[in-house]
């Protein structure tokens, strides 16, 4: 995971850009991606795909030619989708186009105006005091042109067409935790699932934020009814506990399984309703008329968010591994889960069928045998039963599988 992050983080990965396309290409060497393209100007529901944007050079000089800001130093120095400019401006006018973050005065903030035509630079707040002159030359050699918004899609076919989609965005230049960590974990999960026989079909999407998901879904509406659940992954490397943001429905099987796994695996985690922890592409997947339940798993918040301090220093491989294992366990349960329905009447003659479990062998199971037996009416999944009885999923799963082998359950 760290290699991918190292290779991509400093790239100019604006939403429709050569850097974004190159990043997709990099990933497709690890897992085979299908690239969905949508041209500039295409109507995507109520949205329109923006132009491809690129920038060659950008700087601010005083009139003596002394550079006080140069894009070469950091990709965040320019506002993403800035207009080109080449002009002498007063300090006052310049300052209306300089973005800073007073709370992190030594960091360059991340700014973007995708749909509002403007020019702008981003700079450390502490550097504002160095602007002592009356006038400055501002130069931005940026270009807007027809292009294609791209979405990377890796699909692992399962036993059924029913699909679980996992999404991360690839579009914030010069940043790491948001969201190359999500991308890296996604790639690793994909590699794991590719080795297994799965019940569900799994689809991994690498998108430019918001517009990427909207473009993909609006151009592939036939896929929507097949997607049962979605997980958005982001900001998984920073030093904070996990945060589970529930789907808009809030109480789907995925919401419950994610909460169940987090409760059992983690010492501590946050939980919040839809859109109350962190806003991202769940608004597209789980939005009006789409309605795919999408949870989001992150370690949000963290103070370096949307600044040049969101770099390699703040993430750890160990935390990425922990997040990956957490999500794999959630997927393991949802993939194995099914709805058992009894074939028997009355209480089961447990000892007569070798089903008795001594308390010395498994106390939790021993105490719940009867309750499991009373919950096989076909209105609960194995997970529902495990959750209701506060038991280990695999204990319930294995016991019910024995009943299945004895044809006591179908």
Scanning 98-106, 158-166, 196-204, 280-288 for contacts with its own copies by CB under 8 A, the matching segment is: 280-288
CA-based torsion, 87, 92, 93, 94: positive or negative: positive
Q: How are beta strands 135-145 and 148-156 bridged, if at all?
A: unpaired
Query: Least distance in Å: CB of 289 to its own copies?
Result: 4
Specify the residue, 262 or 376, whose C-beta has the smaller distance to its own copies. Answer: 376
Contacts of 354 (CB under 8 A, 6+ apart): none
- Asked whether position 289 contacts its own copies by CB under 8 A, the answer is yes
Name the segment binding its own copies (CB under 8 A); options: 44-52, 66-74, 319-327, 386-394.
Answer: 44-52
When the beta carbons of 140 and 408 are compared against its own copies, the nearer one is 408
Task: State the nearest-atom distance from the C-beta of 377 to its own copies, in Å.
Answer: 7
Both tokens of 2, joined, read 């760290």
| 376 lies in the site for its own copies, by CB under 8 A | yes
Q: Does residue 141 contact residue 84 with C-beta atoms inside 8 Å?
A: yes
Asked if 374 touches its own copies (CB under 8 A), the answer is yes
In 3-23, which positions are buried (b, 16+ CB within 10 angstroms) versus exposed (e)? ebbeebbbbbbbbbbebbbeb
Q: In whole angstroms, what is the distance from residue 409 CA to residue 376 CA?
A: 8
Query: From the list 99, 287, 306, 364, which residue makes contact with its own copies (rule: CB under 8 A)?
Result: 287
> Residue 47 CB, nearest distance to its own copies (Å)?
4
Out of 13, 74, 150, 248, the only residue in the binding site for its own copies (CB under 8 A) is: 248
Q: Which stretch binds its own copies (CB under 8 A): 161-169, 264-272, 316-324, 344-352?
A: 344-352
Using the rule CB under 8 A, is 45 a contact of its own copies? yes
Could you say which of 2, 48, 266, 273 contacts its own copies (CB under 8 A)?
48
- The single residue among 123, 187, 258, 284 that binds its own copies, judged by CB under 8 A, is 284
Question: Can the peptide bond before residue 229 be classed as cis, meaning omega within 30 degrees of 0?
Answer: no
Pick the binder of its own copies from 349, 359, 390, 410 (CB under 8 A).
349
- The strand pairing partners of 152, in sequence order, are 35, 206
Q: Report the residue number, 127 or 275, with the smaller CB distance to its own copies.
A: 275
* Cα separation, 235 vs 315, whole angstroms: 9
- Site residues for its own copies, window 187-226 (CB under 8 A)? 210, 214, 217-218
Residue from 69, 79, 98, 290 in contact with its own copies (CB under 8 A): 290
Q: Which of 125, 151, 392 has the alpha carbon at shortest distance from 285?
A: 151
Whichever of 187 and 403 has its CB closer to its own copies, that residue is 403
CB of 373 to its own copies, least distance (A): 7
Q: Please state, in angstroms and rounded to a whole number, the distance separating the CA atoms of residues 326 and 267.
A: 13
Among 6, 241, 347, 367, binds its own copies (CB under 8 A): 347
Residue 37 tokens read as: 């393209």
Candidates 3, 318, 351, 361: give the one binding its own copies (CB under 8 A): 351
46 binds its own copies (CB under 8 A): yes
Q: Is 47 among the residues that bind its own copies (CB under 8 A)? A: yes
Q: Dihedral sign, CA of 277, 279, 281, 284?
A: positive
Q: Binding to its own copies by residue 149, rule CB under 8 A?
A: no
Taking the complex as a whole, how short is the minimal distance between the CB of residue 202 and its own copies, in angstroms?
Answer: 23
Q: Where are the beta strands (DSSP E) in 286-408?
A: 294-298
Q: What is the nearest approach in angstroms of its own copies to the Cβ of residue 136?
A: 29
The answer to whether the CB of 193 falls within 8 A of the CB of 331 is: yes
What minimum distance in Å lies between the beta carbon of 332 and its own copies? 29
CB atoms within 10 A of CB 358: 9
In angstroms, rounded to a whole number, what is the distance separating the alpha carbons of residues 203 and 163?
Answer: 7
Q: How many residues does the chain have?
A: 410
Examine residue 144 and tell whether it contacts its own copies (CB under 8 A). no
Q: What's the closest the beta carbon of residue 365 comes to its own copies, in angstroms?
A: 17
Backbone angles phi, psi at 308, to 5 degrees: -70, -10
Q: How far apart are CA 188 and CA 309, in angstroms?
A: 25
Q: Is 373 in the site for its own copies (CB under 8 A)?
A: yes
C-alpha separations of 158 from 47, 80, 199, 379 in Å: 33, 39, 5, 24
3 state SS of 87: strand
The SS3 call for residue 49 is: coil
Give residues in contact with its own copies (CB under 8 A).
Answer: 44-48, 115-116, 210, 214, 217-218, 248, 275, 283-284, 287-290, 342, 344-349, 351-353, 370, 373-374, 376-377, 408
């Amino acid at each position: 995971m760290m290699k991918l992050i190292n290779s991509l983080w400093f790239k100019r990965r604006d939403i429709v850009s050569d850097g974004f396309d190159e990043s997709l290409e990099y990933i497709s060497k690890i897992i085979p991606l299908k690239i969905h393209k949508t041209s500039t100007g295409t109507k995507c529901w109520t949205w329109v795909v923006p132009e491809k944007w690129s920038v060659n050079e950008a700087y601010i000089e005083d009139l003596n030619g002394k550079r006080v800001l140069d894009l070469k130093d950091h990709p965040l120095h320019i506002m993403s989708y800035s207009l080109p400019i080449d002009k002498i401006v007063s300090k006052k006018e310049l300052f209306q186009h300089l973005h800073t973050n007073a709370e992190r005065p030594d960091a360059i903030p991340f700014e973007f105006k995708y749909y509002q035509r403007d020019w702008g630079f981003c700079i450390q707040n502490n550097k504002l005091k160095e602007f002592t002159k009356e006038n400055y030359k501002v130069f931005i050699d940026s270009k807007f042109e027809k292009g294609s918004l791209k979405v990377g899609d890796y699909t692992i076919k399962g036993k059924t067409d029913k699909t679980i989609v996992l999404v991360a965005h690839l579009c914030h230049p010069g940043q790491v935790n948001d969201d190359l960590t999500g991308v890296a974990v996604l790639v690793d999960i994909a590699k794991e699932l590719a080795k297994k026989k799965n019940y569900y079909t799994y689809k991994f999407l690498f998108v430019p934020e918001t517009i990427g998901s909207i473009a993909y879904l609006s151009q592939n509406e036939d896929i929507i009814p097949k997607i049962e659940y979605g997980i958005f992954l982001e900001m998984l490397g920073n030093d904070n506990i996990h945060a589970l943001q529930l789907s808009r429905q809030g109480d789907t099987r995925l919401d419950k399984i994610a909460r169940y796994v987090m409760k059992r695996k983690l010492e501590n985690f946050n939980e919040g309703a839809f859109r109350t922890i962190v806003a991202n592409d769940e608004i597209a997947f789980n939005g009006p008329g789409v309605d795919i339940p999408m949870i989001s798993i992150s370690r949000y918040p963290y103070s370096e968010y949307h600044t040049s301090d969101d770099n390699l220093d703040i993430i750890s491989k160990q935390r990425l591994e922990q997040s990956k294992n957490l999500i794999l366990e959630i997927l393991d349960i949802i993939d194995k889960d099914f709805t058992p329905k009894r074939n028997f009447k009355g209480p089961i003659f447990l000892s007569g069928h070798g089903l008795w479990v001594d308390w010395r062998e498994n106390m939790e199971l021993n105490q719940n045998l009867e309750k499991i037996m009373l919950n096989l009416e076909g209105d609960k999944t194995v997970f529902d039963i495990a959750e209701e009885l506060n038991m280990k999923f695999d204990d319930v799963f294995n016991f019910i599988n024995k009943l299945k082998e004895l044809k006591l359950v179908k």
